[in-house]
Amino acid sequence: MPDRPFAPDRGIAPPARGGDFAPDRDNPPRARDGDIAIREEFEAAVAARTVAALSLFITRHPGHPLASEAEARRRALERR
């Protein structure tokens, strides 16, 4: 008989789906505000201090208000 990693007959249960976290079906976690993720991405692009990082941010979020700030910072870096 092959060795089965999840064998109920041997008292070994399968892991919960999604790792060790079992979601509460009656009270699911709220989705994170998408703007927070965009602001974090902007901060990371600024911290990288590269034209490429700011260009990527602008490409990914062209209509976001921070895109104009990223564009200004990118132009400043290009002038150096």
- Domain-wise residue ranges, the chain: 49-80
Between 24 and 55, residue with greater pLDDT: 55
Model confidence at 6: pLDDT above 60 = no
Model confidence at 75: pLDDT above 80 = yes
- Which phi and psi angles does 6 have, rounded to 5°? -120, 85
Q: Give the Cβ contact number of residue 29 at 10 Å.
A: 8
pLDDT in tens, 11-52: 666 655 555 555 677 777 788 888 999 999 999 999 999 999
